[in-house]
Every structure is written in C-alpha cells, then in structure tokens.
Chain A
C-alpha cells in the first residue's frame, strides 16, 4: 500500500501574441519555440507511456491565451511554416558539419527530432490541444484552467468584477475547447487574496493552488501544513506547493537543470554561426535569434563549453529522476508517520521549464513516471481532484494572500517600473462595469463593441506585460501592448457612450484581437 501521493502540476501559459498585420513577428516565436520544445515533446512522452501501458496522473493548467493561440488557424499555419524552415536548417546543418563527427551526430539528432515533431503535428492536423484532450479523456491528465488572460488577481482586488470576468471567461472558454467545465484553476502566478475563493465557487471550480506560505500563514494555523488540502469557508479546496520538491527542480544552481551534462540553453547557432549562412533562418531584419539548435552542454560555470553528449545527458536525467523519487519517498514515509494519513506533495512547475529551458526535462519526467509505476510502492501519482475524492474531510482555514512570484507577494507586478499601469487598468475596469450596467441587453453592433471592449480590457490585464516591464530586458513591446489595449478599450468606451461605434475600425480590431469569440460581456459585473 502506498504511503502518500505526489501531485505533479505543469502550468502552461504564454501571453496572447498574434499579429496578422505583420508577415513575420518575433514575439510569435515564443509560441513556436514552446510547441517544438515543450508541448509536442510532452505529447510524445505521454503517448509512449500510454502505448507502454504505464499508468500515470498529471495535472496541467492550460491558460486560455495559450489555448487560443494553439487553436488559431493563422498561427497554426505560421507554425507549420516555421517548422519547415527549422527542418531545412537542420538538414543544412548535417551537411555543414559532415567533417565534425561530434557536431554531425547532434545535427542529425535535431533533424530526426524535428521530423518526429512535424509528424506528430501533422498527425493531429495541427491541433495539438486535441492531443492533450485525448490524454484527459484517457484519465491520465487532468486539465485545469487559469485566468482568462493570466491577469494577476491580487492587483485587481479593488475591482472584483474584473476578477470575476477573468474567471468566468476562462471557465467558459475551457468548456468550449474541452467540452466540459474545469474542476480546478491555476490562479495566475498563484496570486490569491482571501475572498476570491467565493468567485471561484460561483464559477463551479472546486480547487486552486497557492504557494507554500499561502497555506503556512493561513488562519487558523493549518494542522498538516501544505501536505493536505484545506477548505476555504466557501468550500473551495486549496492546495499548497511543497518547497522541497520545487527547489530540486527549479533551482538552476542546486537543482537538476543546472547539471553540467545537460544542454546549454544560451549557445544557439542563431547567434554562433556566420551571419550570411544563418541569415535566412533569423529575423528578416537581420536580428539574430534562437533557432532551437544548440550543440553544447553546460560544461561548467564559465564560458568554455564542450559539445553535448545525448547519452550522458540521458543518464543524468535517469539519475535525477531516481534522486527525485528517493527524496519524495523519504518525505512521504516521514509525513505518513507524523500525520497518520496519506500526505499529498504538490509539485507545480512552469510547463515551459520542461524542454524549452531544461532540454532533458521531458525525459526526466518520463523516467520519473516509469520509476514510480514500476520500481516502488510508497508513492502514487494523483490529481488534486482524486485526492479530494479520497479525503473528504479537511480543515477550514483562510489561506493567506500570496503569490509564487519573487519574494512571494506582488512586488514583481507592483514596483517603480510598472505601478503606473494600475490606475489605467482599474479605471478601464470601472468603465467596463459601467457599460454592462448601462447596456445589459445589447444586440448587433453595440453588442459587438461591448464584447470587444471586454476582450481589450482582459488583454490589457495580462500579468505578462507588468512582468516583462519589471524584468527590464525588453520593455517596449510590453508597454506598447498595455497601452494599445487600454487605448482601444477607451475608444470603444467613448464610442459606445456617444453611440458612434466605428464599424470599420471595430472590424479591424476584432480581426487582430480575436481571442474569445463567444465572450459574454455581461460577466464583468
């Protein structure tokens, strides 16, 4: 009999970046890279597990902007084109490196890999969401939702109508894509404020996840810490992240991804190779960028890098999976004795860590799942929902306001560089509520304008913009996006109130910001 449960959660999200008005748009690469390096490799792992009859459970949150982009025809087409070019580059590479055996085998590895990815992509007819849906239908993964545009709820608390809209639009959209309503939600950045659980309850959600201190600092003090869920007064369950299992995987210094045998992320041929050779595969304006073909391993902490050895890295991934499992087993045994019931260890990660940042991440996950299935019986994998079914009696507490961002609260999204956005976001939010009150039963052009107003508001609220502004590296795009959506919203607000909606202009932004086709603007109240 097992002594406890491990709940792996992969949170996948990317901001909505879609620019039909440009032929080639650099930020759209975020999606393409994530598909090639994370989402399809995960599908490959799941497929092989299913084919081999390995039982597993995994929870994935898929944010609505990500789902929108993955199911968008324009972006699907552009991804196919991107992948074709990547395959062309990889095959050129096999030729270029023919006299360098160390690199030649790597270029072949990439070529095979990209061909396999294209194979998968074609097999699912470009709709990789349907692949995840398939694994959900098989009972292997549970897909939960997120905020409609990954808005950061704690800094929206002053206008809860927007928190409600973020939740309701997300849940509705999730149902549209997956055919059923989600049971759980990944609060964007794990940002929780007491009271928001009521909003989740109204939307039919049963559980959410917070960072460790959200539970540890809850009132009253939770008896089992983060190793058992708690109920909020509303009856919505709350799970807390386990610090230890997080650190082992997240930390680039003491964590697994920093191992010297793993692939080095920062040495990409897009930057390393001769400009004229690489020119067709970087941005048309000649701006170098990551191609995804990387030949070196981390090697050491300085700049000298050795070629990557796939077999050695694979060994490491297996070793690290074993180490992770061993540590969880000891943790479980200890907790089981102390608690007198089976603990749950919640280990959430950004999905993009697996494959995109940590190239061997999907391999590690594959090893871990197989080892858990065959090599031991202390741990079992579980989803939050299954754990709640098994443990119906839980302590009632008020989780503490918290996030999983730097320092554990809102500082990333509220600091000198980005605090100016909130005065505008809150104003727009108040105005949206006002519009809903004024026009509760709009039809025709007015309804279209109101729907688009809510889309623009939601897009402006995306926490990614404040995050990028705070990190300070590529601020201009995030600032432009914030302002652009806010100004589009403001024009819609003014046009609606003066009864002069400009249909041509509206059609243009409906085409550009085409997220949430069935949005119900009335949810914002």
Chain B
C-alpha cells in the first residue's frame, strides 16, 4: 500500500511538473504581452492622442467660477451604504487603454467559500482574471488570452490596463497555490474603442426610407403627389420588402 501511494504521488508530481512547464510556455508566449502593458504609465502618451489640446482648454473654462456653498447647506447626516449585500462585479470602459471594475462579495459568500475550501481558502489569492473575448461569444473557456491581477482581500475596485479596440470580461475569483482558479463572480463584457482610424475601408451608404419615399414619389412625375397617392405608394413599398432594402446600397 505504502509503495503504491508513493508511486501515485510521484506520478502526480511528474504530471504537475509537465503542467506547470506547459503553463510557463503558454504564459511566455501569450500572457507576457499583457504583463508588459500593465507597466504602461497611467496617462496615455500625448503623441498617441492628437485631440488633446482643445479638451484641456475646454476644461479651463468650466470649473473655477463655480463656487461652493457656505457652511449653511446641511443635507441629512446619513451616509450611503458601504455595500448592497450582493455578489456582483461590473466592468466599465474608461478609454481605449483602461477599464474600471468594481465589485462586492457578500460575507455570506466568503463564509461559504471558507467553509467548503477549508485551509486552502486562506492560502488562496483574490484575483481578477481578465479575458480577451474580442469577436467571440465567451463561454468561460474560449478566451483568446487572459491575465491575472492580484487584488487582495480588501479592495473593491481596480483600474485595468488593456488594449484598444478589444472586448473584455473579468472574473473575480480565488487562485490557489497549485495555480488552479475558481470564479466567484463574472462581469459584463465591454469593448474598448479604437485609438486610431479603422483599418476597415468597405463603404456602405444609406438613404433613409423617409427620404427615399420622396425620391420615389418624384420619380412618378410629380414633386408633390397627393396625400392619397403617397399613402398608396407607401403601402406598396412597405409590402415589397426588397424595395425598402434597395436604398441600402453596398
């Protein structure tokens, strides 16, 4: 028995070694790119953003003339709640390079995790796992890539540095010593805007149906056909779906 168990253990650690090697290779090729981006400065480089000046100038004009109330203004002394007793994580886009996420995990959920995981819970790290889900419907395991951010037990929000023109989703969960990860809550999916002109050049042009009707009416000889005829035309056109589509040229 003892021998057998030993053998099993050996086998397990051998597999683990292979697994962690594969993981390192994977991280080297896929996750590293994100790691580098994380160290980017919080302020996007001016040279990348041609529209900077006038936005700053606009700002100059607005705030400083607004003066605040003297001591007299007294709202109710209550405070907003620190939490709403729910497990929730929300992801929002700040700009092409940054997202913001906030979350709340109830004490109840933490207790349940503690109870079911036992000692492992205390050794695990609270992690934000950021998935790149651009152009796919995310099913939990088909992300193009992901990276982790250790957020600690006490934090409840985080700014995440990402790439422009991509879609993301984040999981807040626990990562254990052996590298396994469990999701506690999953966020909504958001898309960061492009930070430059699109590379897609296909053109599509459109004339609104209401304008098309006027052209169509004019085509019948009168620039202002009577209301009855116009109504008839409209009925005629709307009964022919393909005609309405015609005004959307490719």
Interface residues of A (CB under 8 A from B): 19, 22, 25-27, 29-30, 33, 154-155, 157-158, 194, 211-213, 216-221, 223, 231, 235, 243, 246-247, 250-253, 255, 265, 283, 285, 287, 289-290, 350, 352-353, 356-357, 392-396, 400-402, 404-412, 414, 419, 422-424, 426-427, 467-468, 471, 473-477, 480, 483-484, 486-487
**Are A217 and B194 within 8 A (Cβ)?**
yes
Chain B hits for A285, CB < 8 A = 70-72
Asked if residues B65 and A356 are in contact (CB atoms below 8 Å), the reply is yes
B73 near A22: Cβ-Cβ < 8 Å: yes
Q: Which residues of the other chain, A, contact B95 by a CB distance below 8 angstroms? A: 407-411
B52 and A407 contact, CB distance less than 8 A: yes
Determine if A483 and B79 form an interchain contact, defined as CB atoms under 8 angstroms apart.
yes
B63 touches A467 (CB 8 A): yes
Are A471 and B51 also in contact (CB < 8 A) when A27-B68, A255-B57 are?
no
Question: How many A-B Cβ pairs are below 8 Å?
Answer: 198
Q: Which residue of the partner chain A has the closest CB to B78? A: A487
What are the nearest 5 A-B pairs in CB distance? Answer: A474-B68, A409-B95, A471-B63, A220-B200, A392-B211
* A407 with B49: CB separation less than 8 A: yes
Expressed in whole angstroms, the minimum distance between the Cβ of A266 and any Cβ of chain B is: 9
B55 within 8 A of A: yes
Q: Which B-chain residue is minimally distant from A232 (CB atoms)?
A: B206
Complex Cα gap A456–B34 (Å): 42
Q: How far is the CB of A412 from chain B (nearest CB, A)?
A: 8
Tell me whether B94 is interfacial, beta carbon within 8 Å: yes
**Chain B, range 91-147, C-beta contacts under 8 Å to A:** 92-96, 98, 100, 102, 104
Contacts of B248 in A (CB 8 A): 396
User: Is there contact, CB below 8 Å, between A487 and B76?
Assistant: yes
Cβ-neighbour of A393 out of B80, B90, B207 (below 8 A): B207
Q: A247-B53, A251-B57 are in contact. Are A219 and B200 (CB under 8 A)?
A: yes
Type the 1/0 row for B40-59, where 1 means its CB is closer than 8 Å to any CB of A: 00001000010111111111
Chain A residue contacts of B51, Cβ below 8 A: 211-213, 243, 408
Within 8 A of A (CB), among B178-216: 188, 190-209, 211, 215
**Closest B residue, CB atoms, query A464:** B66
In the complex, the chain A residue whose C-beta lies closest to that of B46 is A407
Please indicate the chain B residues that have their CB under 8 angstroms from the CB of A19 in the complex: 73
| CB atoms of A357 and B61 under 8 A apart | yes
Does B67 sit at the interface, judged by CB under 8 A?
Answer: yes
Q: Is the CB of B76 within 8 A of A246?
A: no
Nearest-Cβ distance from residue A352 to partner chain B, whole angstroms = 8
Choose from A27, A194, A252, A352 the contact partner of B69 (Cβ within 8 Å).
Answer: A27
20 contacts between A and B (CB under 8 A): A19-B73, A221-B200, A223-B203, A231-B206, A235-B208, A247-B54, A247-B57, A285-B71, A290-B65, A393-B206, A395-B204, A395-B206, A400-B193, A401-B191, A405-B55, A407-B44, A408-B52, A427-B84, A476-B69, A477-B68
Q: Which of B92, B193, B200 contacts A422 (CB 8 A)?
A: B92
Cβ of B60 < 8 Å from any Cβ of A? yes
Question: Inside 8 A of A287's CB, which chain B residues have their CB?
Answer: 67, 70
> Which B residue's beta carbon lies closest to that of A479?
B75
Question: B62 contacts the other chain (Cβ, under 8 Å)?
Answer: yes
| B66 and A27 within 8 A (CB) | yes
Contact A157 B92 (CB under 8 A): yes
Given contacts A235-B208, A401-B193, A409-B94, contact A26 B64 (CB under 8 A): no
Chain B interface, number of residues (Cβ within 8 angstroms):
66
Minimum CB distance partner of A487 in chain B: B78
- Among A22, A194, A423, A474, point to the contact of B72 (Cβ < 8 A): A22
Q: Is the interface of B mostly helix, strand, loop or mixed?
A: loop
Chain A residues, Cβ within 8 Å of B211: 392
Complex CA gap A339/B201 in Å reads 17
Interchain nearest-CB distance for B169 vs A (Å) = 13
Instruction: Tell me which of B59, B62, B206 has the highest count of chain A C-beta atoms within 10 A of its own C-beta.
Output: B206
Instruction: Let me know if B157 is at the binding interface, CB within 8 A.
Output: yes
Residues from chain A with a CB closer than 8 A to the CB of B56 are 406
A285 to B71, CA, bound (A): 9
Q: Across the interface, do B52 and A158 meet the contact criterion of CB distance under 8 Å?
A: no
A286 to chain B, nearest CB (A): 9
Given A407-B95, A424-B80, verify A477-B58 contact (CB < 8 Å): no
| Measured CA separation A471–B68 after assembly (Å) | 13
Residue of A243, A353, A402 touching B193 (CB-CB under 8 A)? A402
With both beta carbons as reference points, the residue of chain A lying nearest to B68 in the complex is identified as A474
**Nearest Cβ distance between residue B172 and chain A, in whole angstroms?**
14
A221 adjacent to B67 (CB under 8 Å):
no
* B67 close to A26 (CB less than 8 A): yes
On whether the beta carbons of A411 and B94 are closer than 8 Å, the reply is yes
A414 x B198 contact (CB < 8 A): no
Name A481's closest neighbour in chain B (CB-CB).
B75
Smallest CB gap from A414: residue in B: B94
A217:B71 contact, CB within 8 angstroms: no
Question: Is A221 a contact of B205 with CB atoms below 8 Å?
Answer: no
Given contacts A246-B54, A353-B61, A394 and B205 within 8 Å (CB-CB)? yes
Whole-angstrom distance between the alpha carbons of A27 and B63 in the complex? 12
Instruction: Indicate if the CB atoms of A350 and B197 lie closer than 8 Å.
Output: no
In whole angstroms, how far apart are the Cα atoms of A475 and B201 in the complex? Answer: 46
Closest beta carbon of chain A to B93's beta carbon, Å: 7
Cα-based distance from A471 to B193 in the complex (angstroms):
25
A252, B61: Cβ atoms under 8 Å? yes
Chain A residues whose C-beta falls within 8 Å of the C-beta of B69 in the assembled complex: 25-27, 476-477
**Are A221 and B197 within 8 A (Cβ)?**
yes
Complex contacts, A468 vs chain B, CB 8 Å: 63, 66
Q: Could you say which of A246, A406, A426 contacts B59, with CB atoms under 8 Å apart?
A: A406
Task: Tell me which residues across on chain A come within 8 A of B64, comparing CB atoms.
Answer: 471, 473
Instruction: Kindly state the separation between the CA atoms of A223 and B203 in the bound complex, as whole angstroms.
Output: 8
How far apart are the CA atoms of A220 and B95 in the complex, in Å?
20
Decide: A250 near B54, CB < 8 A? Known: A407-B49, A473-B64: yes
Closest B residue to A22 by CB, please name it. Answer: B72
Partner of A252, one of B57, B190, B205: B57
Interface pair B100/A419, CB less than 8 Å apart: yes
Residue of A whose beta carbon sits closest to that of B64: A473
Pair B67/A487 contact, Cβ less than 8 Å: no
In the complex, how many angstroms separate the beta carbon of B66 from the nearest chain A beta carbon? 6
- In the assembled complex, the CB of B211 is this many whole angstroms from the nearest CB of chain A, namely 4
The residue in chain A whose Cβ has the minimal distance to the Cβ of B97 is A409
Instruction: Given A221-B200, A411-B95, output 4 extra A-B contacts at Cβ < 8 Å.
Output: A221-B199, A395-B204, A422-B102, A486-B80
Please give, as numbers and ranges, the residues of chain A lying within 8 Å of B90 by CB-CB distance.
Answer: 158, 422-423, 426
Which residues of chain A are near B70, meaning CB under 8 Å? 26, 283, 285, 287
